[in-house]
Amino acid sequence: MDQNATECLLRMCDQQYELEDYQAGVPRWCNGCGDNAILAAVQRLCRDEKLKPEKTVFISGIGCSSRFPHYMKTYGFHGIHGRALPIAEGIRMARGDLNIFVNTGDGDCCSIGAAHWIHAIRYNMNMTVMLHDNEIYGLTKKQASPTTPRGIKSNTTPRGAYLNALQPLTVTLGIQNASFVAQAVDWIPEVLYSILSKAYHHKGLSFIRIVQRCPEWLPEMFDTFVHNPDKVLLLQHENGIRPSAALAQVYRNREEHDPSNIHRAREIASTEDPIPVGILYRNPNVPCYEDIRSTPHLRTTKLIKAGLDSEFDKFTVWPPETAKAEEEEHTQAAE
Amino acid sequence: MYMRAGFQADCAFYHNGTRLGGALDTIDDLGLTPALFARHRDLTRLRYDFPLVLLRNSSGKDAAKPLSALIDAVCHEFDDAQDSAIYVHALRFEREIRVAAATHGSGGLQDLMTIAAKHMLSENASLYRDSIERLRKAIKIDGMVTDCNIAMPCQLFHHYWETVHRQKAQHFREMAGRLVVKLARILHADFVRSPEGLSPANLEAAMGTTQRTTFDFNALSELLLRTTSKKSLSESRRKRISWMLTTLESQRFYPPLTEGDDQHEPYNFVFENTADAMAAYRDRLPQMVELSKAIAMAGLEIAGEFDERFHVPFFAEYSIDNLDPDDFGLLPDYLILTHMSDIQPSEAETLQDAFAGGMRAKILVQADDILAIPAFTGGNISPAVRSRQMVNAAISLGEFYVFQAPGSQLPRMRESLANGFAHPGPALFSVYSGGATGTDHSLPPYMLAAAALESRAFPALTYDPLAGDDWPSRYHLTDTPQAERSWPTYPFAYEDAEHHSIEATLAFTVADFVACDARYYKHFARVPRENWSDAMVPLSDFLDMDKQAAAQKVPYLLMADADGVLHKVLVDEKIVQSVRRTTKMWLGLQELAGLRGGYSNINGHDRSQRPAPAPTPALIEAPEPQARSEPATSKPQPEAPAAPSSDDAYIETIRCSTCNECIHLNDKMFAYDDNQQAYIKDINAGLYRQLVEAAENCPLSIIHPGQPRNPDEAGLDDLIKRAEPFL
């Protein structure tokens, strides 16, 4: 017997899931929106990994992409702007048994949530983070986000964006404790799925930047890359991903990249054309914050109450008669 | 002429053990030891691996440490260790502790330090006071100090078992404690929704004192009773959870989970013989199964996975057969501390029965006399026969971790020893204490044990069944000195009668070990110096000679008396045969361990011939000779599926990004597959126009409309033109 009795029993009652078991409602995203492709890949992952809906949670901030939890028939937390990661970290600390996914957009993560993003990478808590990067604020109808390329005209930059775009991959790879960094594009679903699968199995924070099209506000932004496969650099490795034979026929521009090589990963992350797709960096040995801070103490009601009492007592102003009684009690105990 | 007569006498002794004409002396009263031991008669003056300190609150290899290692570590922390007297004083302090340990047999480190300090201060208080104070302040740890003696192996192995047992108890307490809390929460959650839980009194009790008067608890209770779901735990589930809680809380394999519970005294797991251990194991088997069952059921219950349809019948038949290594690993290992002299043949059978029945035990079999003369040997000298048999039997059972070492080598094998206790299965530890022989002047146990080790009479070996898939991976002799040789050799310097310094190399064979035992003195004969001749050759040289050359020689050992005077001692043929047998046995062990010929070479050859493992199917790469940055490969490649004819309509489904464009256009003609990617479900469910429009709208251009199927469709010429870019 390779597994213990409980595992065998769990397997005995193993439940089969279909995509429908994870589908909740019809997405309100526009036709052609890359979010649809991400949703399809994630639902497929949940089905293939047989993730129990009641043991799975999707957390998001604000934006088009952050509507994601509404479309998953699992637990979800549509949080506040930029705060998806702190919420997810709290859930991870309290519930080690859950599968945690975070959906955040380029505005949500790289602007208002940038500080949380940096520290979440440093904390390296076990979760899969999808950065839906369409390089624009879509929900509020076309305002420049931190990843909007220089020169792109928007409602907030009518003469074109003034600054060079922030590159989420180079930022992430520059933060201590980064343990899994990948880039996917919504128009190659097979690779998107493969990366999601590797990310899910990685112990630690898996950060995936998913370059996605916004057909409404930047309809032609990625046309060059979508229609010319040579404009995509597919990263492949035995410790990363491998394309199928059919896909490899389309995407011939490939590089053998060892995800343990952080220096090459940083070089690749800086590349804009061709757009790199695959796992840039993976280090399974980075410790997770929840493991570092785990305590053997059993969190019983009694323990929690004692801890709270102890903290409250530091600030309690006792009525005079109670204080006197306490003092007498202490004196007797000391004697 | 004299030479000839002397050689005859030597030959007579060699072949028959008879001493002709008084030319050879007995060694009975000479107090001889092997020459290599001449300088180590007083071990208290020697800095070596003993005594050992059995440290409290340490685990793994470091659960015990040599006193010398502790002193070194402490001195290393003193900045001025190299420049002042502190290091010298520390070494003296260590020696005094060693003397105290040797005198008292064992004792607490702090107590022995007190005795040592007293002795040194009484000798010269002003010289040692400062150093001793600093040393005592630096050595804060405590633990039993044990010297190399007959009691040491039991103390050491019990100590290692305790460290593992303590860790397991802690792990169990945390695991079972969590289960109890979570199970109790299920019952509590049901209670708070019950009429009793929602009663005014209970609501009031839950509110706290300050706000108690603010609420109308009767009204609150009435409201909650009306609106709260009436669904509660089924009676069967409640009973089941209560049973789990009772089983977990009343278990006796570890200390009770509830502090102050003195009704459930933990079982004893340390035994002095296998029969008692086996009886205890059998008695506790039902409780063991019940506890494992409760743990397995609680895991399911807490995860919400307990399905009465499947699990109730399954657990009704739950038995010892359902327990796997992890379940056994959760419970304490039995520790059996027994002596070889107490093991009867029937006990050996009991032992085998026990392991066949799943008993997980760590067994120390301590041999104190490996040179006892069995009645059936017919005069053959075969050291440690029973230990060898037991070790071989354990290895043959397959799942035993086997450890063999003399007591002297235990400090250096602490890691292997700890591995044995951590091994997820039974373990046999065969140890020779060196504590009892037939000799009168008796070497210290440490020296006798070391002699057994060096001579290969009792080699140090480990066998880890989980360490690999071939013998050399599992079987190790590396803790036996100079394991690659038939017997060890050491440089030896001495002065001859004219005080000339002589340097030689001496071998240490089983003859040297046997020469330490008075029961075998008859096989040795001292040759008076005046009778030394060229026909006498060292035993190791004699063993290397062919039969013809050996017929002209007689073998001798170099031994020393208490004054350090060297003697040449002839050995008889029985001793030579014993050395040859031991060497042959040793060569066999070397082959198993991959140290010599046979197995390792063959195995190495096999490895080099072994084909490389096949690539994982999931990682199979696509064919593409012209790919950029691709390493050249001759691996067979799977072929990509052929593209359909351009006359047929199709979608490159694997590239579909689920954008919904085509589906919104005609959800009868287009549909999503199991992966939510589009395909043409029914080409007759729409017009060619819709196929063309879908192709035009598809952001990835993966819809290929093919040729029209209905030549009468309106506007066909225009549609065919529009479809051209997508064919």
DSSP string, B413-433: GHHHHHHHHHSSS-EEEEEE-
Residues of B in contact with A191 (CB under 8 A): none
SS3 per residue for B664-683: HHCCCCEEECCCCCEEECCH
- Residue A9 contacts B where some CB pair is shorter than 8 Å: yes
Ranked by mean pLDDT, the top range of B259-268, B315-324, B422-431, B644-653 is B422-431
The alpha carbon of residue B234 is apart from the nearest alpha carbon of chain A, in Å, by 21
Give residues 198 to 217 of A whose Cβ lies within 8 Å of B.
Answer: 213, 215
Pairs of CB atoms within 8 A across A/B: 143
Output B636-639 pairs: Cβ under 8 A, ≥24 positions apart.
B637/A245, B638/A245, B639/A245
Residue B612 confidence (pLDDT)? 39
- Residue A298 contacts B where some CB pair is shorter than 8 Å: yes
Q: Which two structure tokens, joined as six digits, stand for A77?
A: 């937390």
**Per-residue pLDDT at B633 exceeds 70:** no
Residue B377 confidence (pLDDT)? 56
Report residue A99: phi and psi, to 5°: -90, 120
- Between CA B554 and CA B560, with CA B559 as vertex, the angle to 5 degrees is 150
Euclidean distance between CA atoms A83 and A87, whole angstroms: 6
**Per-residue pLDDT at B450 exceeds 90:** yes
**Per-residue pLDDT at B72 exceeds 80:** yes
Residue A12 confidence (pLDDT)? 59
Note the pLDDT tens digit of each residue in B169-201: 999 998 999 999 999 999 999 999 999 999 999
Note the pLDDT tens digit of each residue in B166-176: 999 999 998 99
- Residue A32 contacts B where some CB pair is shorter than 8 Å: yes
> DSSP assignment of B92-161, as one string?
HHHHHHHHHHHHHSEEEHHHHHHHHHHHHHHHHHHHHHHHHHHHHHH----EEEE-SSTTHHHHHHHHHH
Mutation site, A6, A95, A252, interface B, largest B CB count within 10 A: A6
Record: contact B640-A3, CB cut-off 8 A? no
Residue A1 confidence (pLDDT)? 38
Q: Of A250-254, B345-349, B704-708, which gets the smallest average pLDDT?
A: B345-349
Selection from A118, A159, A152 nearest residue A137 by Cα? A152
- Residues A165 and A147 sit within 8 Å (Cβ to Cβ): yes
Residue B601 confidence (pLDDT)? 38
Selection from B717, B723, B673 nearest residue B698 by Cα? B723
Q: Which of B618, B638, B701 sits opposite A227 (nearest CB)?
A: B701
The alpha carbon of residue A71 is apart from the nearest alpha carbon of chain B, in Å, by 14
Record: contact A245-B638, CB cut-off 8 A? yes
| Average pLDDT of the residues of chain B | 85
Record: contact B660-A238, CB cut-off 8 A? no
Note the pLDDT tens digit of each residue in B592-608: 898 876 544 333 333 33
- Residue A250 contacts B where some CB pair is shorter than 8 Å: yes
Q: Which of B300, B623, B661 sits opposite A245 (nearest CB)?
A: B623
Indicate the pLDDT class of residue B69, thresholds 50, 70 and 90: very high
Record: contact B624-A256, CB cut-off 8 A? no
H/E stretch holding B554 = strand B554-560
Record: contact B639-A19, CB cut-off 8 A? no
**Per-residue pLDDT at A333 exceeds 80:** no
Tell me the average pLDDT across A29-35.
Answer: 92
Residues of B in contact with A1 (CB under 8 A): 324-325
Tell me the average pLDDT across B643-664.
Answer: 85
Record: contact A190-B655, CB cut-off 8 A? yes
- Residue A24 contacts B where some CB pair is shorter than 8 Å: no
Residues of A in contact with B656 (CB under 8 A): 189
Tell me the average pLDDT across B294-313.
Answer: 90
Tell me the average pLDDT across B112-121.
Answer: 93
Residues of A in contact with B624 (CB under 8 A): 248-249, 252, 254
Residue B42 confidence (pLDDT)? 77
Q: Which of A4, A36, A242 sits opposite B324 (nearest CB)?
A: A4
Record: contact A32-B660, CB cut-off 8 A? yes
pLDDT higher at B638 or B92: B92
Q: Which of B296, B303, B622 sits opposite A249 (nearest CB)?
A: B622
Indicate the pLDDT class of residue A334, thresholds 50, 70 and 90: low
Q: Which of B292, B629, B639 sits opposite A254 (nearest CB)?
A: B629
| Average pLDDT of the residues of chain A | 92
Question: What ipTM did this prediction achieve?
Answer: 0.78
Indicate the pLDDT class of residue B621, thresholds 50, 70 and 90: very low
**Per-residue pLDDT at B668 exceeds 50:** yes
Residue A174, amino acid: G
pLDDT higher at B14 or A113: A113
Residue B632 confidence (pLDDT)? 38
Which is it for the CA torsion B321, B322, B326, B330, positive or negative?
negative
Q: Which of A36, A252, A299 sits opposite B660 (nearest CB)?
A: A36
Residues of A in contact with B304 (CB under 8 A): 54
Record: contact B658-A249, CB cut-off 8 A? no
Tell me the average pLDDT across B150-158.
Answer: 94
The alpha carbon of residue A115 is apart from the nearest alpha carbon of chain B, in Å, by 32
Residue B80 confidence (pLDDT)? 63
Mutation site, A14, A35, A134, A244, interface B, largest B CB count within 10 A: A244
**Per-residue pLDDT at A68 exceeds 90:** yes
Residue B20, amino acid: L
Record: contact B307-A13, CB cut-off 8 A? yes
Indicate the pLDDT class of residue B618, thresholds 50, 70 and 90: very low
The alpha carbon of residue A118 is apart from the nearest alpha carbon of chain B, in Å, by 30
Q: Of A12-16, A232-236, A311-315, B400-404, which gets the smallest average pLDDT?
A: A12-16
Residues of B in contact with A189 (CB under 8 A): 654-658, 675, 677
Record: contact A36-B658, CB cut-off 8 A? yes
Residue B441 confidence (pLDDT)? 52
The alpha carbon of residue A104 is apart from the nearest alpha carbon of chain B, in Å, by 19
- Residue A296 contacts B where some CB pair is shorter than 8 Å: yes
Q: Which of A5, A44, A249 sits opposite B322 (nearest CB)?
A: A5
Q: Which of A189, A249, A254 sits opposite B640 (nearest CB)?
A: A249
**Per-residue pLDDT at A118 exceeds 90:** yes
- Between CA B326 and CA B433, with CA B390 as vertex, the angle to 5 degrees is 100
**Per-residue pLDDT at B56 exceeds 90:** no
Q: Which two structure tokens, joined as six digits, stand for B438?
A: 């037939």
Note the pLDDT tens digit of each residue in B490-547: 999 998 888 889 899 999 999 999 998 888 888 999 998 888 888 899 999 999 998 8
Euclidean distance between CA atoms B19 and B458, whole angstroms: 31
The alpha carbon of residue B663 is apart from the nearest alpha carbon of chain A, in Å, by 10
H/E stretch holding B347 = helix B345-356
Note the pLDDT tens digit of each residue in A249-304: 999 999 999 999 999 999 999 998 999 999 999 999 999 999 999 887 777 778 88
The alpha carbon of residue A145 is apart from the nearest alpha carbon of chain B, in Å, by 23
Give the CA diameter of chain B: 135
- Residue A19 contacts B where some CB pair is shorter than 8 Å: yes
Residue B639 confidence (pLDDT)? 58
Residue B82 confidence (pLDDT)? 54
Q: Which of B307, B637, B664 sits opposite A31 (nearest CB)?
A: B664
Residues of A in contact with B183 (CB under 8 A): none
Residues of A in contact with B179 (CB under 8 A): none
Find all residues with CB under 8 Å of B453, minimum gap 6, and list them: B405, B406, B408, B409, B459, B460, B480, B481
Indicate the pLDDT class of residue A5, thresholds 50, 70 and 90: low
Indicate the pLDDT class of residue B46, thresholds 50, 70 and 90: confident
The alpha carbon of residue A245 is apart from the nearest alpha carbon of chain B, in Å, by 4
Residues of A in contact with B658 (CB under 8 A): 36-37, 39-40, 189
Residue B348 confidence (pLDDT)? 66
Record: contact A189-B654, CB cut-off 8 A? yes
Residue B627 confidence (pLDDT)? 34
Enumerate the β-bridge partners of residue A209: A131, A183
Q: Which of B310, B621, B676 sits opposite A19 (nearest CB)?
A: B676
Residues of B in contact with A242 (CB under 8 A): 618-621
| Percent over 90 (pLDDT), chain A | 80
CA atoms within 13 A on the CB side of B103: 9
Q: Which two structure tokens, joined as six digits, stand for B376?
A: 């059936």
Minimum CA–CA partner of A47 in chain B: B675
Tell me the average pLDDT across A208-229.
Answer: 94
- Residue A224 contacts B where some CB pair is shorter than 8 Å: no
Euclidean distance between CA atoms A58 and A84, whole angstroms: 9
Q: Which of A32, A39, A245 sits opposite B661 (nearest CB)?
A: A32
| Percent over 90 (pLDDT), chain B | 47
Tell me the average pLDDT across A125-132.
Answer: 98
Q: Coil, strand or helix: which one is B223?
A: helix
